[in-house]
Structure 1
Amino acid sequence: MSVSAFLGRQPVLNRNQQLIGYELLFRESETSTEIGRHAELDADTEVLVNTLNHMGTSWLIGNKLAFINVGESMIGSDFLELLPPRRVVLEISGKLTPSNELLSRVRHLRSLGFGVALDGFSFESPAAAFLDLANYVKLDVQSMDAQAFQTLAVRLRSYPVIRIAERVETYEHYHLARDLGLDGYQGYYFAKPETLSAKVIHPSFANTLKLLNLLRQDAALKEVEAVLKTDVALSFKLLRYVNSAAAGLNTTISSFSHALTVLGYKRLYRWLTLLLVTSSENGLMPAALQKTAVSRARMMELIALESGLPSDVADSFFITGMFSLLDVIFDMPIALALEHLNLPEEICEALMVHAGRYGLCLELVLAMEAGTDNLPQLAQRLNIEAEALNLLHTSALSWVEELSL
């Protein structure tokens, strides 16, 4: 009998909050939640192999590293030789007790080019025996108090490893790790940052929002043109985009009216939503956040289409996913951010309280990001099998990687 499991990923960042890779997360589709991040994962091998066969080696990680949790059986399996070693970091649980045979096997995998990460590390854990073979060591910021965390981080400085703080979920967690000079971070803090106090929306954002509202209201072409003519940067980006999109037409588009005619309001609206979440006034919006928003949008759209909903409704699912990080983009509560957009009530309720069909779909996508226990139940409520959902997920992630955000 084939195994069903859900596939997700979580960004791993360097000290400058730039993406270096993703940890791949798995959740079985059965009601049992015993499989977690550090389980043997033998049941998930079939899922990963099938995904590789469907999507190729850049299916989920683009040009980044893939951190894959491995147990004793998977370390010893021939399956690992199917993976691209220079792109894969084998993540070993601190609870794994090493044998001489296991140490020898890991040493061989290192010689092939695989990276090795020790997860939830402490010098007292059985897996400390792997330390001399490790490239990365992950320190769980929530498993000990700040003093113990500092002591462990300082002790590891004398080893040639990259120290990554994991389960970083709060401002305090992040600053503790940063002040100790750790080399990288992983955790929900970077996917769901704190909501900060409201601030003035910058002009370029304001014009983008104004255009979005005009397009949703099906305003006259002249009204849309009038906004574009007041924003040089926005106009430049639009003409660059539309000329790229119309490359096969053997013509250069140099007027707003021509650009709007070629694109149409629907495609222009889609482009503007992408622009809104992939740019910021100071250009410092982390790439991980950009990809998170766009991945959610595409995933929600594909789920809607898979469910047989018409394309115009699928567009609304796309918008819901895209705008699920508006509070992060504008550093203000989501309800306040939505006041600047003329969105349908159903989408607003989904974004604020995860209500309705859009909200349920958003919850499913969030569960896939986090690999949470309720993922199988959410998928069942939407009548989506694990295999179909994984294919949609990898398709969405591949689409986002192709955007080169």
Structure 2
Amino acid sequence: MSQTVLGSITLGYRPLWDKSRSVAAIQLFIDARSDAPVDAVQLLNALQELGNPGTPPLLLSVKSPQLLRDLLDNAPRSPYWIEVRNEWMHSHAMPQRVQRAHQRGLRLVWRGEADEAPAPELAACFFTRLLRLSPQAALSGLQAAARKRSDPGAQTDSPVLAGQIYEGIASRLLMEHCLDQQQAAALLGWPDEDVLHALQHKATAPDYSAMVKLVKAVDEDLAVEQIEALLSEEPILTFRFLAYANSAAVGLRNDIESLRHGLMMLGYKQLKRWLQEQMPQGSRDPNLLPVKAAMVLRARLMENLMDAGVEHELAREIYLCGLFSQIDVLMGEALGTALHRVPLSSRIYNATVRNSGPYAPLLQIASAQESDNGSAIRSLCHEHGMGLEDVNRALLHTLSALKK
């Protein structure tokens, strides 16, 4: 039954980031075809089959009022959050449906503009709100942030409320005001462009804490698979390691195209020495963590989209393709220029720079799934002959591997 459900919907996602710059939850877009109504209970059963209790919660964001009504009327109590849009609250007895769903124990999230609010009799039905600041409210927030920065002890009025979720925050200063000064619960999306603008087109360094974790893993003599997994979670460190392994300073005869090969050739002692040389210049900017984590998510999704079976090298090559597909924003140079620094497979270069070759469809679909554009995802799946059910399962497997 769940196969039919996953084959008749289109899924996309967007992370919610908390104060620690970690994934607090995942907004899961669910776009159902108008000619194929989806049963809410079957949908939840399909999600639970592929879920993992230890992952961040899913915020179900359905694009159909009909499916939302079905969820509110019939969904059993579950760990999922269900988004209720304000513009849908005024028809089809939605207030009564919300109240009954709340009484059954469903976790509901009200979504609307920051200057709006649910009716007083409904406010208790929502455990939090997902809000968008108007341009004027965003300006007031920036002014409050500036006053707080100049005088941390000052009492300032701000449109940002503690414990709520905010979306559409494009400014680094406003992001820090929401999470650090006003104790917002999370941000939906991340101000990548403004965070990266502070680099002024210069290459960023690998994350310091990631290198500390790797040195500790080496000292504990963890298996090479575990070392590889830790290393591959930091895009800049992964890139620098491959560049180092292929440098004249190392002097290996053959090109190193994978992390596993490089680790086997260099050994733990040389890896630790190299990491310790990198650490003094390590980045301690927490605002870069979501940017890098999003790259890792794309890489994992691409790996799951291609059923590589037991072919480890093929799977890791696809992973590197996703990981390096946006490495230019961290390197401060054109993508093609950056990728020429390491002897990567031509398949990676073709997919990321030329939008061609066998990995290009995987990269296109993985990139499209980072949004709520269901029609674009369906079009790409049709163009490349990939079934919606397989694509949706790949996304759910990727999200189920996340850790809180």
TM range (shorter): 0.5 to 0.7
Q: Say if 1:128 and 1:344 are closer, same or farther in 2 by CA, change over 3 A.
A: farther
Per mean C-alpha deviation after superposition, the further-off stretch among 351-360 and 3-12 is: 351-360
**Counterparts of 1:303 and 1:198, CA distance in 2:** 33
Query: C-alpha displacement at 1:137, in angstroms?
Result: 1.9
Give distance in 1, aligned partners of 2:263 and 2:71. Answer: 62
1:48 aligns with 2:82: no
Checking the alignment, whether the CA contact within 8 Å between 1:24 and 1:69 is kept in structure 2 is yes
In the superposition, relative to structure 1, how do residues 150 and 43 fare at CA in structure 2: closer, same or farther (>3 Å)?
farther
Structural RMSD (CA): 4.6
Q: 2:16 aligns with which of 12, 18, 40?
A: 12
Q: Distance in 1 between matches of 2:100 and 2:172?
A: 40
User: Aligned residue for 1:116?
Assistant: 108
User: Which string of whole-angstrom CA distances, capped at 9 and with x for unpartnered residues, describes residues 292-327 of structure 1?
Assistant: 333322332333337x99775554322201222424
How far is 1:143 from its partner?
6.8
Bigger shift: residues 379-388 or 94-103? 94-103
Question: For the residues of structure 2 that align with 1:47 and 1:365, how far apart are their CA atoms?
Answer: 25
**What letter is aligned with 1:229?**
K
2:166 corresponds to 1:165: yes
Gaps of 5+ in 2: 144-156, 212-236
Counterparts of 1:164 and 1:209, CA distance in 2 = 40
Correspondences of 1:16-165 after superposition (within 5 Å): 16-28=20-32, 43=38, 45=40, 48-49=43-44, 51-52=46-47, 54-56=49-51, 58=53, 62-69=54-61, 71=65, 73-78=69-74, 80-81=75-76, 83-84=77-78, 87-98=79-90, 102-124=94-116, 130-141=122-133, 146-147=138-139, 154=158, 157=161, 162-165=163-166
1:166-214 CA-to-partner distances (Å, cap 9, x unmatched) read 1234547636756873602112535996464223756973445323776
Give how far 1:375 is off. 0.8
State whether structure 2 residue 238 is matched by structure 1 residue 198: no
Q: Is the 8 A contact 1:118 1:127 kept in 2?
A: no
Question: Structure 1 residues 129, 23: closer, same or farther in 2, change over 3 A?
Answer: farther
Change (3 A) 1:135 1:169: same
**Deviations, residues 310-358 of structure 1 (Å, cap 9, x unaligned):** 7755543222012224245556553454243222344224223534332
Question: 1:179 and 1:397, CA in 2 relative to 1: closer, same or farther beyond 3 A?
Answer: closer
Corresponding residue pairs, total:
339
Q: Which residue of 2 aligns with 1:267?
A: none
Superposition deviation, residue 217 in structure 1? 1.4
Alpha-carbon distance in structure 1 between the residues aligned to 2:27 and 2:47:
16
Partner residue, 1:385: 387
Q: Distance in 2 between matches of 1:365 and 1:380?
A: 14
* 2:189 is the counterpart of 1:187: yes
Contact 1:301/1:314 (<8 A) preserved: yes
1:364 alignment partner AA: I
Give the Å deviation of 1:124. 4.9
Amino acid at match of 1:116: L
TM-score (norm 1): 0.65
Q: Which moved further from structure 2: 371-380 or 187-196?
A: 187-196
Percent identical pairs in the alignment equals 17
- 5+ unaligned residues in a row in structure 1: which ranges? 33-40, 237-275
